[in-house]
Amino acid sequence: MADAEIEALERKRDSIKKEMVAVGDMRQGTLSERYRRCGKPRCRCAKKGARGHGPSWSLTRAVGGKTVTTIIPAESAEQTRRDIAEFKRFRGLAKELVDVSEQLCDARIDASVQAASTEAAKKRGSKKPLRRNSSRKSTRS
């Protein structure tokens, strides 16, 4: 049973690794659509209820504890969405790989403990119980 479980977990681990190799370009962050007002009083964006100029796209992510924003050209917004999705896929695969690896480590430990206890039981079963002689009396004069 334990060997079959270990083999199944090894196959699962290897399958996840193959999927990870196939991961394409990836990018971390959040893509946001933004509209801005230019500040000119006669511009269409200054009218009440106007959305503003745009959309413009920005990618926001944390780097070293600080928020970094990168402007993404409109023609690259869809590719950036795919790159972010690929990063999320990679992150999910990495978590799954760690989970399967932990299960595999636990299964190997369990198999090792079980093998050791079986071996110890075999050794104990073949030995005759030890008998102690009565305590020796010294023969000093």
pLDDT on residue 54: 87
pLDDT on residue 3: 87
* Neighbouring-strand partners of residue 30: 60
**Where do the domains of the chain lie?**
2-116
Arithmetic mean of pLDDT, 120-130: 62
Quote the tokens at residue 82.
Answer: 């795919």
Contact 84, 27 (CB under 8 A): yes
In 1-141, DSSP assigns E strands to 30-36, 53-63, 66-72
CA distances from 118 to 6, 7, 35, 115, 126 (A): 19, 21, 71, 5, 13
- Residues near 67 by beta carbon (within 8 Å), at least 6 away in sequence: 60, 61
Residues 9-58 have pLDDT tens digits of 999 999 999 999 999 999 999 999 999 888 898 898 888 888 889 899 99
Residue 97 burial (CB < 10 Å; 0-12/13-18/19+)? Answer: middle
pLDDT on residue 87: 97
Task: Give the pLDDT band (50/70/90) at residue 105.
Answer: very high
Give the residue with greater pLDDT, 126 vs 45.
Answer: 45
